[in-house]
Copies of this chain bind each other. A is one copy, B any other.
Amino acid sequence: MPTLSIGQFDLVYNSFSLVIAVMGAAFLFFLLSRSTVAPAYQRVLLVSALVVGIAGYHYLRIFNSWSAGFVLIDGQYVASGVPFNEAYRYVDWLLTVPLLLVELIAVLSLGAQRRQSLTLRLVIASALMIALGYPGELTLAVGPRLFWGTLSTIPFLYILYVLWRELGDMLKSEPVRVRVLVRNLRLLLLASWGVYPIAYLLPLLNIDPALSLVGRQVGYSLADVIAKPVYGLLIYGIARLKTEMDLAQQLREAPVAVAAD
């Protein structure tokens, strides 16, 4: 662990605290907004709540691990000897990244068979992606970090293929407004997931280790906020739109019964 200036240590410390607050608020929001969507989409919001809840738990742990990892000596933060536990992130991603893909599939109107097939393949691919990245995170050496990073990229590319190619075809049966939202969601997913490999590869650039550590932690934190609560909000938007459209459809199909109700 490199020695950090007070400003560097605090930037990471405050980023972690910010993420805890955001995840906690998002957890309550998704949980308590379930009643505003049709029953078919309430499970999607529950999964969103679980994702940010799990992330909030891990950021509490990460925050404590960061605080325990340094001691302030003569105006600088020096490694305390207690190692900073980067594994919390990987445990978090191992649980939440598959759930993020479950959310996406669950909010679409796919047949049961298609949904199960897509969900199974995306869950396995995303868990593999995280598990293969972890051994590279344990080292700052160029070779293994590149090796595991490359292996981890294979399931990542498979996920992109499924989301763009397979899901793209299926989206044709969705209404235009839903299609636009799903496309935006997919782009947000790509943009936020794109931050992780950059943060992952930071130690390979020949920059100051303190800057690299701080950049990696702030980068991961920012990416987690976009990939979980912001992504969940977009999913919520889709669920709301589909709730309205389902209702309009029901009104068109059963005008007499509704009028008599």
A residues in contact (CB < 8 Å) with B: 6, 10, 13-14, 17-18, 20-22, 24-25, 28-29, 31-34, 36, 39, 42-43, 46, 49-50, 53-54, 57-58, 61, 72, 81-83, 85, 87-88, 91-92, 94-95
- Give the oligomeric copy count: 2
- Which of B17, B29, B36, B83 is in CB contact (< 8 Å) with A91? B17
Kindly provide the distance from the CB of A15 to the nearest chain B CB, expressed in whole angstroms: 9
Whole-angstrom distance from the CB of A205 to the nearest CB of chain B? 26
* Contact (Cβ within 8 A) B25 A95: yes
Q: Which of B14, B29, B82, B91 lies in contact with A18, CB distance below 8 A? A: B91
Question: Which of B17, B28, B46, B91 contacts A88 (CB under 8 A)?
Answer: B17
A87 — nearest CB in chain B belongs to which residue?
B14
User: Which residues of chain B come closer than 8 Å to A25, judged between CB atoms?
Assistant: 50, 53-54, 95
Contact B21 A92 (CB under 8 A): yes
Main SS class of interface, A: helix
The interface residues of chain B lying within 8 Å CB-to-CB of A18 are 91, 94-95
* A39 CA / B49 CA spacing, docked (Å): 21
Residues of chain B with a CB closer than 8 A to A29's CB: 46, 50
- Shortest C-beta distance, A180 to chain B (Å), equals 15
Q: Are B53 and A24 in contact (CB under 8 A)?
A: yes
Residues of B within 8 Å of A6, CB to CB, are 83
Instruction: Report the Cα distance A249→B13, complex, angstroms.
Output: 52
Say which residue of B21, B22, B72, B81 sits within 8 Å of A82 (CB atoms): B72
Nearest B residue (CB) for A95? B21
Question: Once the chains bind, are B72 and A50 in contact (CB under 8 Å)?
Answer: no
When chains A and B are docked, how far (Å) is the Cα of A53 from the Cα of B39?
Answer: 25
B91:A14 contact, CB within 8 angstroms: yes
A46 contact set on B, CB distance < 8 A: 28-29, 32-33
Cα(A220)–Cα(B92), bound, Å: 20
- Minimal beta-carbon separation of A165 from chain B (angstroms): 29
Residues of B within 8 A of A94 (CB): 18
Q: Are B57 and A91 in contact (CB under 8 A)?
A: no
User: Contact at A54–B21, with CB atoms within 8 Å?
Assistant: yes
- A53 to nearest B CB, angstroms? 6
- CB closest residue in chain B, given A82: B72
Most B CB contacts (10 A, CB to CB) among A21, A24, A43 go to: A21
